[in-house]
């Protein structure tokens, strides 16, 4: 099913580091790449590992204002001068030395992967260091400095794409990407996230549906706290494939934040690695079904940096490479030893599964249950989004 993939990796992306004690610990990136290598995925003939240059100002300006870029560069050289202006110097987004360079490097990887997919060099591109979906035109937010996901989409549009779909399965609303394309009918943004009453950034209500020139171009599914595997996958399958079938994107861009997991310390969903793997498999399949296989997959949030993130994103890489790992696969001892050496933790995961067996109940199979809060959320989204796209809710 895969047509070749390109994994973007430069060890310097681990310099995206807000400092000790910050949840966005760059060890999650290094451990993911080491797990990819421990499984030998980087040696597969259908997976090319590549690095790209940092995004330059002309590329960053596709989404961000020049005064913001200048501020990031200035505070990158003098982090102590950050005072909260432009969202920099806050507890979520403290300024750090080399901030501009590391952020631009991550953005450059996502943009280069998008270009490779659009040019037909590969079917799939993966940048698990990316997915920094909260950054706005002129401000940092939610651990995100430059919005690489929006920049990749903007580059696709610049190169001639007429329809790009973005599906965000991070536990937090993909607000920055939605904002970037709020009034652009060429982009369909779909975000599946914990309810904004419960979680940052407090947006992503079903009624947020796009600007006057792009009504129905933004779709938001706000999930009840505590939603687990079956409900989460039911929600995904009850909204996303229907919209993609109608929109027929030329490229599918997806964001795979791993913070939906039940061990994640910053949110309140109860999803397993097994469900996250199944979601990645579904999105891969929909890329082939609806966008001729053109798929750019990004990382995102995820703060269980040893137990969850490396396994979930290694599954993502394996799926993109056409060599999915069976869930019962044992984690290589060499990787577990590395975890112990880096973190002192003797209890790293032993298998690529949380041991969950999941049956997906689709909307079409079972219909609407008015007593189920999950179904109420799905119905609210379908009612808000489907008619604007000429679909029955």
CB contact at 8 A, 351 and 330: yes
The pLDDT score that the predictor gives to residue 1 is 38
- The catalytically annotated residue of 64, 100, 124, 134 is 134
Structure tokens at 240: 């996303």
Give pTM, 2 decimals: 0.98
Give the 3-state secondary structure of residue 109: helix
Our answer to whether residue 261 is catalytic in this structure is no
Give the 3-state secondary structure of residue 380: helix
Give the 3-state secondary structure of residue 274: helix
First vs last C-alpha separation in the chain = 31
Q: Tell me the average confidence (pLDDT) per consecutive run of 10 residues in the chain, 393 residues long.
A: 83 98 98 98 97 98 98 98 98 98 99 98 98 98 99 98 98 98 98 98 98 97 98 98 98 98 98 98 98 98 98 98 98 97 93 95 91 97 96 91
Cα separations in angstroms, 253 against 100, 125, 182? 24, 9, 16
20/268 Cα distance (integer angstroms):
24
The pLDDT score that the predictor gives to residue 3 is 63
Closest CA to 126 of 139, 117, 136: 117
310/144 Cα distance (integer angstroms):
20
- Rounded to the nearest angstrom, the gap between the alpha carbon of residue 107 and the centroid of all alpha carbons in its chain is 13
The pLDDT score that the predictor gives to residue 348 is 95
Q: What is the bridge-based pairing of β-strands 218-223 and 47-50?
A: unpaired
84/20 Cα distance (integer angstroms):
19
325/318 Cα distance (integer angstroms):
6
């Amino acid at each position: 099913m895969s047509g070749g993939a390109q994994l973007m990796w430069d060890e310097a992306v681990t310099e995206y580091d807000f400092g000790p004690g910050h949840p966005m610990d760059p060890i999650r990136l290094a451990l993911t790449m080491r797990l990819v290598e421990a499984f030998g995925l980087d040696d597969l003939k259908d997976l090319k590992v590549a690095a790209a240059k940092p995004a330059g100002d002309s590329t960053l300006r596709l989404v961000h204002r020049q005064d913001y870029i200048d501020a990031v560069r200035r505070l990158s050289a003098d982090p102590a001068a950050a005072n909260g202006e432009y969202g920099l110097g806050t507890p979520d987004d403290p300024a750090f030395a080399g901030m501009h360079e590391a952020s631009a490097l991550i953005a450059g990887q996502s943009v280069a992967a998008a270009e490779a997919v659009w040019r037909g060099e590969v079917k799939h591109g993966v940048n698990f260091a990316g997915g920094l979906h909260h950054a706005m035109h002129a401000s940092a937010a939610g651990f995100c400095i430059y919005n690489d996901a929006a920049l990749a989409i903007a580059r696709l549009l610049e190169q001639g794409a007429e329809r790009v779909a973005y599906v965000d399965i991070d536990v937090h609303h993909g607000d920055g990407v939605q904002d970037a394309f709020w009034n652009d009918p060429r982009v369909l943004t779909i975000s599946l996230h914990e309810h904004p009453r419960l979680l940052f950034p407090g947006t992503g209500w079903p009624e947020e549906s796009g600007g006057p020139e792009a009504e129905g171009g933004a779709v938001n599914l706000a999930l009840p706290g505590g939603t687990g595997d079956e409900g989460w996958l039911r929600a995904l399958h009850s909204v996303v494939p229907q919209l993609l079938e109608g929109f027929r994107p030329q490229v599918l861009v997806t964001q795979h934040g791993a913070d939906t997991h039940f061990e994640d310390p910053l949110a309140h969903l109860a999803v397993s690695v097994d469900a996250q793997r199944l979601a990645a498999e579904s999105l891969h399949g929909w890329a082939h079904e609806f966008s001729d296989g053109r798929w750019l997959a990004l990382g995102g949030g995820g703060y269980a940096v040893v137990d969850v993130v490396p396994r979930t994103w290694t599954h993502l890489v394996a799926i993109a490479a056409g060599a999915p790992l069976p869930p019962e696969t044992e984690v290589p001892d060499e990787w577990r030893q590395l975890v112990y050496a880096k973190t002192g933790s003797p209890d790293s995961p032993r298998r690529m599964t949380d041991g969950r067996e999941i049956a997906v109940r689709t909307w079409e199979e079972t219909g609407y249950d008015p007593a189920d809060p999950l179904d109420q959320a799905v119905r609210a989204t379908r009612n808000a989004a489907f008619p604007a796209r000429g679909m029955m809710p």
